[in-house]
A = this chain, B = another copy of it.
Amino acid sequence: MTDKETRREDLILTAREVFFQYGVRKTTIDDIAQACGMTKSSLYHYFSGKEDLIRAVARMVMDENLEKYEAVVAKEIPLVDSLAALIKTIIARQKEMYPKFLASLEEVLELIPMLKDVITGYQQSVLNLIKKRLTKAVEMGEYNNLPVEEFSSILMILIHHQVKQCTDPSMAVLDSSDPYALISLLLDPYRGTSSAAGGSH
């Protein structure tokens, strides 16, 4: 990686902070430049414009996230634990780094509609992670008659919501204190006779 590319990566990191602190739309090129300790014009040395900047940040965030989530789901633990761990990871990631992540994604779409494919692809990837995990659980006989398609989506949506809630607790609709309980609640009716079905919670 050249010097310029390295610096660019650093700048993306900084930009990410700013974007997710103020939101994508309210963030000025000037804001980012200041946070980077340089002038607006200098920033244009590394990025062709605000869109380029947003695109880069979005890509970085999505890549990082997917990598982490895949690692979590890959662990050999019971389904419910696995999903609960996934939720916790996702939420932790938001809290730790991007308080306005999802709100921003929607803003991003408004500013750069062309990014829709990228974002949709990202969401599909997360959805597929869940789907694969459910399928595996069914194949191993831990669950019977589980409508994998539907439950993948339902879980995805619930996760999405909990992530949002953790960003803005005042919007709470569903008590997110215990993801494990929530998942159990939904999946228990389909639990198989296999002794490995439940989690170790």
**Which residues of A are in contact with B by a Cβ distance under 8 Å?**
23, 25-26, 103, 106-107, 110, 116-117, 119-120, 123, 127, 147, 149-150, 153-154, 156-158, 160-161, 168, 170-171, 173-175, 182, 185-186, 189-190
Q: Is the CB of B106 within 8 A of A173?
A: no
B158 near A173 with CB under 8 A, answer: no
Beyond the given A120-B171, A157-B174, could you list 19 further A-B residue pairs with CB under 8 A, ordered by the A residue number?
A: A25-B110, A106-B106, A107-B110, A116-B170, A116-B171, A119-B171, A123-B171, A147-B185, A150-B174, A153-B173, A153-B174, A154-B174, A156-B173, A156-B174, A157-B158, A157-B161, A160-B161, A186-B186, A189-B190
- A189 / chain B contacts, CB cutoff of 8 Å: 189-190
Question: Is chain A's binding surface mostly helix, strand, loop or mixed?
Answer: helix
A150 and B185 within 8 A (CB): yes
The minimal Cβ–Cβ distance linking A24 to chain B, given in whole angstroms, is 11
| Residue from the set A26, A106, A120 with the largest chain B CB neighbour count within 10 Å | A106
In the assembled complex, how far is the CB of residue A64 from the closest CB belonging to chain B, in whole angstroms? 21
Cβ-closest chain B residue relative to A189: B189
In the complex the two chains form, is A23's CB within 8 Å of B110's CB? yes
Q: Which of A25, A149, A171, A174 has the most CB of B within 10 A?
A: A174
The reply to whether A127 and B173 form a contact with Cβ atoms under 8 Å apart is yes
Residues of B close to A110: CB separation below 8 A: 23, 25-26, 103, 107
CB contacts (< 8 Å) of A174 on chain B: these are: 150, 153-154, 156-157
Closest residue on chain B to residue A181 by CB atoms = B150
Give the complex CA separation of A110 and B73 in angstroms.
Answer: 34
Chain B proximity of A55: nearest CB distance (Å): 17
Q: Which 9 pairs of residues, A with B, have the shortest CB-CB distance?
A: A153-B174, A189-B189, A157-B161, A153-B173, A156-B173, A120-B170, A116-B170, A150-B185, A127-B173
